[in-house]
Structure 1
Amino acid sequence: MFHLIKRDVILQKKQLLIFIPFILFFIFMDVHPVLTFLVASVFIPFNTYAYDEKAETNILLNSLPYTRKEIIASRYLGAIFYMSIAIVLTSAALFVFGKLFSLSDIAIGSGLFLLFAACTFPLFYILKPGYITTAVIIGFIVLSAMGPPVVLYLAEQFSGITDFIMNLSIPIVYTGSTVLIMLLYLLSWGLSTAIYQRKVF
């Protein structure tokens, strides 16, 4: 399984050369650190999916001595691994250029990435190749633009729930959010595995 994760790095080595300039662009544009961490985390995993979609790599992967469960596991574990690397590099870049950020920014950015990944990874095994990357990019842009206003609107409409959450201690909020996001991520992992097991290439 480690070799499958390593394969993604090899395939994306050219893309990795533009990773730092890509992140620096967001930093110089004074984009909020949360969005910067989110975009950085998305970069490698979704580039890999986009490459595999064009090259129809699933046929090759299924000819290798790996089970389909291992192939899916490498995707989900690899996403967490690359997210961790992206966070370290982005944090270093923000620090070097004197941009303020907090652990909360990292936590929220990471949580949003895992949530977005949980929602979109199964699409790569459901939708027809050729449309998936476009759908994911559009979804990401829409969520980035519409997400905050929608959250604020819902917070106003469901003030009782909002007040309840606001009265909770910060550790409880972060712990609860982490558990919920990881649960959704695991459910997504299971769904992708179930779909991929039945898929014919």
Structure 2
Amino acid sequence: MLNLILKDILIQKNILIIYIATIILYLMVNVPSVYIVFIYSIVFVLSAFSNDEKDNANILLNSLPYTRKEIVSSKYIGALIFTGLFMFLTYLFDFLLNGNQVAVLWKEVLLIMGLVMIVISFILPISYKFKTKYLTIAIMGLFGVYMVIINYFVPNLNKQIRTVVQNFMTVQELQLYLIVSLLIVVLYIGSWMLSVRIYKRKAF
């Protein structure tokens, strides 16, 4: 399974240079690290998934000595590894560029991991059931709805989202973090099992 995760990294090794360059650019204009890690982690996972859809790659994957469960599991485990990688790079560059003596807060780590896991929990089953092109259409539609909302109904939505994030970072109840973390883990595992079931039934 480790080789499947390494495959996703190696296929995108040239794009990684672009990722790193743009991360540095965003840090220079003070884009919050949480947003950077979240966006790049999701983009990386989606890119890895879309590569498997090209040129009958799934037929090749299924001819290799891996079970379909292992193929799907590599995406879910890889998503967490990629998030950790982008988190490390982002905070490292933030320290080198801005001189921020940042000890990464465990709350921030939980927030990033939690957001990525929630999004991946919905994205991967949809991608396995259909194709990423349909997911792209759905994302574009949601973005259109989002733009309508912030322009006509809730102009300060972005500010409200930032406030929610800030409130999360200031909560002191450890029990609340444990409950939310547990719910996210259950959602992630449930999505994982659903994706395995969907992929096992697909014919290539």
TM range (shorter): 0.7 to 0.9
Residues 42-101 of structure 1: per-residue CA shift (max 9 Å, x gap): 242221112223333211111111110010111111111111111111111112222766
Distance 1:186 1:140 in 2: 27
Query: Are residues 1:183 and 2:186 paired?
Result: yes
Classify 1:183/1:59 alpha carbon distance in 2 versus 1 (closer, same or farther; 3 Å): same
Query: Are residues 1:53 and 2:53 paired?
Result: yes
Partner residue, 1:174: 177
Distance 1:34 1:59 in 2: 37
Q: For the aligned residues, what is the CA RMSD? A: 3.1
Distance 1:5 1:20 in 2: 19
Distance 1:50 1:83 in 2: 18
Distance 1:95 1:141 in 2: 36
Distance 1:41 1:93 in 2: 16
Classify 1:89/1:113 alpha carbon distance in 2 versus 1 (closer, same or farther; 3 Å): same
Distance 1:98 1:186 in 2: 38
Segments of structure 2 that go 5 or more residues without pairing to the other structure are 151-155, 162-167
Quote the offset at 1:130 in angstroms: 3.5
Whether contact under 8 Å (1:54, 1:130) holds in the other structure is no
Query: Are residues 1:27 and 2:30 paired?
Result: no
SS at match of 1:17: helix
Partner residue, 2:88: 88
Segments of structure 1 that go 5 or more residues without pairing to the other structure are 154-164
Quote the offset at 1:169 in angstroms: 4.1
Whether contact under 8 Å (1:68, 1:193) holds in the other structure is yes
**Given the two structures, how large is their TM-score scaled by the length of structure 1?**
0.79
Partner residue, 1:149: 157
Query: Are residues 1:116 and 2:119 paired?
Result: yes
Task: Please list, as runs of the form range in 1=range in 2, the aligned pairs for 1:39-50 lying within 5 A after superposition.
Answer: 39-50=39-50
Whether contact under 8 Å (2:41, 2:116) holds in the other structure is yes
Partner residue, 1:160: none
Aligned match for 2:199, one of 183, 196, 199: 196
SS at match of 2:63: coil
Distance 2:59 2:177 in 1: 41
How many residue pairs get aligned? The number is 188
Q: Which amino acid is the alignment partner of residue 11 of structure 2?
A: L
Distance 2:2 2:172 in 1: 39
Distance 1:189 1:84 in 2: 19
Distance 2:197 2:122 in 1: 15
SS at match of 1:199: coil
